[in-house]
Chain A
Amino acid sequence: MADYKNFDEMFGTGEKHREPYRDYHQWLESQDAAWLHRKSDEAETVFRRIGITFSVYGEEEASERLIPFDVVPRIISSREWSRLVRGIRQRVQAMNAFLYDVYHRQEIFRAGRIPIELIAENDAFLPQMIGVSPPGNVYTHVVGVDIVRTGENEFHVLEDNARTPSGVSYMLENREIMLQMFPELFAQINVQAVGNYPKNLRRSLGNCVPRSCKGQPVIAVLTPGIYNSAYFEHAFLAGQMGAELVEGHDLRVVDGRVAMRTTQGYAPIDVIYRRVDDGYLDPLNFNPQSLLGVPGIFDVYRAGGVTIANAPGTGIADDKAVYSYMPEIIEFYTGEKALLNNVQTWRCSEPDALRYVLDHLSELVVKEVHGSGGYGMLVGPTASHEELVAFRNKLEASPGKYIAQPTLSLSTTPILTKNGLDPRHVDLRVFVLVSPEEIRMTPGGLTRVALNKGSLVVNSSQGGGTKDTWVLEE
């Protein structure tokens, strides 16, 4: 029997399986291990054949890699899910209200609830967006909220992704592969479907059209191109939505609209679901070196000629320094206490916090305020003496660039290994669609799993894999 030290999604803290896993566990017990391994290999072959890969920078040979997939699902009960839904909806609603406020009257700063320095010294704040109201006042059309669990009833938001969150194609393909590999499971267990996501994304984007849109909205997915690590996902979503997949050089501003070069001339676009960063959107208005964007697109946007999703400047809402104020932000805009907890966070810009962090460095996780993808991060308990010293120097030199959090005992879920089931740490990215009509979450998400025993880093660039995520029907 494997050793379950942390809260485990399948076994809790004991030997017996938890209720949401009842039917699955019973099924699993009656399966032959060799057959499961064969299925696991089969799944990998299918992933390779359909080319579900991500690109890795600087690795000439293996520039297209598969994200390892584990066949044991992560299962969430409908009760747990409703609780998450309420908390996430509240959070995302507050996030959009915050963004509107930041780029308009800035009430929250005037009220002294959070310090103005938070945006004044923040690169993610786009002064060009001041006074601009996006169609339907929706800023974050797509949000990925990263949830971690530390106990039966303890869920925390680890991170918000309000710029161009990725991973949703893995959620969809993981389910697809599970349906292919284990059809009988889905006949026995009522798992909520995730397959409507592309349709809902299309509808959600279609509800945020600009004033200039007449008739059925034309939607395009803007990708940085084939070398981007998430290119597969961009193509996948465009294909599933029946939208065009465009790059900057396919687009041009024609008669005050953003238009794409088609076989019949230039055709205007109403909504651009962009998967390029703010800085690369428009070389005239932002980074002048960028070849990825479209000159003048931002002027069209400001004049109401196109919707850009997510809106430029949303990065100010998912910055790690702003994250630490999310409880205040939620309370300020919704008048309610946050339903979902943040992870306790020390802002190293504050002298008391910095002192605490320096004194407890070997127990904490320290992150760059503007970092992502698990890079530039210190995991105190597993760091070497040299790494600790180096990080201490960095912290003392520019404390404002860092936040620190306790090393969480993330929940585990068993994975299939050569020696049978073995627990590994997981997190969960929930995908949220926002339109003026509703805030909608797909029942499921992307469970990322740290495949190295004991590791807490789930990023695919650093030894992470994925699992199918089941939300059970009531």
Chain B
Amino acid sequence: MLGKTADGLFWMFRYLERNENTARLLDAGFRIALTRAADAENEWASVLTTVGVKQAFQEKYERMETAHVIDFLLRDPSNPSSVMSMIQSARDNARLLRTALTRELWSATNECWLTLRELMARPVRERELPFVLSTIQQQNALLGGTLHGTMMRNEIFNFARLGTFLERADNTVRILDVKYYLLLPSVSLVGSSLDNVQWETILRSVSAQRSYHRLHKGDVRPREIANFLMLDLRMPRSLAFCYSKIVDNLTHLAKDYGVRQSCFDQAETVFARLTDRSIDDIFESGLHEFIQDFIRDNNALGRQIEKDYRFYG
């Protein structure tokens, strides 16, 4: 397989994962903006920080108006992390590596691009937002289903999955990074209704409200949320889950190629850190430090994969 193709796949699936995450954060933020107008500006600021585009937004707009945030996150071509920019980039990559994709997966990607481009040809009004967000979700689900239903489980699949899970881990840890102060044990003592809404928002932004409540019978506690998002191997967006998948896919590549690359060791080290301690240990040694280390190591792993598998010349 060409290094260029591995690169294209890895990034195609990072872009796809990121657009879905941006849409999900937008959905959670919009809920706050609708129900608690007074908190809207703060919530939008934290959403923009999570996506990593707050500064870019502020250079363009003076205030955190909902309509502007929606436009910036959904369809602004000057924002490389907007949903539409991500879909465009994913589709550009897919064109480049068409031969590596099944016909079905290429068509689903192209159709996703055509559908969303049409849907977002003009600014999306607030009352249209729920429909647009659910269409984005549907299109992404179609892509995910087509990937699973049609692609061979080989190196092509492995590089695609590495992109997905590296990006997903990045997204979850960014949410934690922005909201970690709400999850500190001391906060649970406060127990105000504001925190409850904030906690629900965190769960909503990782599509885990129902799963969490099912698990904890409606008892919303910051320690449990932190555990759920970081260490729970059953939760498909937790850091531990992402790393178990990253290690799986690197294991397949190592077997397939007969070579264990150094990115493998790096991934295993990070994974061990998510499995060999409890959430209380993490709180004890410092949640903030843990999150910062994770962000750094996750980025480093991405660079090492690119290097080990010769993505560039």
Contacts and interface: CB of A to CB of B under 8 A. Distances in A.
A261 B310 contact: yes
Nearest to B92: A226
Interface stretch (B99-107, B120-128, B235-243): B99-107
A238 B95 contact: no
Contacts of A261: 2-4, 310, 313
A398 interface: no
B110 A262 contact: no
A243 B5 CA distance: 13
B297 interface: no
A263 B110 contact: no
* Interface of A: prevailing SS: mixed
B310 A262 contact: yes
24 contacts: A49-B110, A50-B106, A50-B110, A51-B95, A51-B106, A226-B95, A235-B95, A235-B99, A244-B2, A244-B5, A244-B99, A250-B2, A250-B4, A261-B310, A261-B313, A262-B3, A263-B1, A263-B2, A263-B6, A263-B309, A263-B310, A264-B259, A264-B310, A265-B310
A244 B96 CA distance: 12
Contacts of A51: 95, 106-107, 110
A261 B3 CA distance: 6
Contacts, number: 60
Contacts of A245: 98-99
Interface residues of A, number: 23
A48 B92 CA distance: 15
B2 A246 contact: yes
Interface of B: 1-6, 92, 95-96, 98-99, 103, 106-107, 110-111, 114, 155, 159, 253, 257, 259, 309-310, 313
Contacts of A250: 2-4
Contact of B99 (A50, A226, A239, A264): A239
A353 to B, nearest CB: 47
A256 B150 CA distance: 39
Nearest to A263: B309
B305 to A, nearest CB: 10
A247 B96 CA distance: 11
A249 interface: yes
A50 B2 contact: no
Given A50-B107, A244-B99, 8 more contacts: A49-B111, A226-B95, A226-B96, A239-B99, A244-B2, A261-B2, A263-B2, A264-B310
Nearest to B258: A264
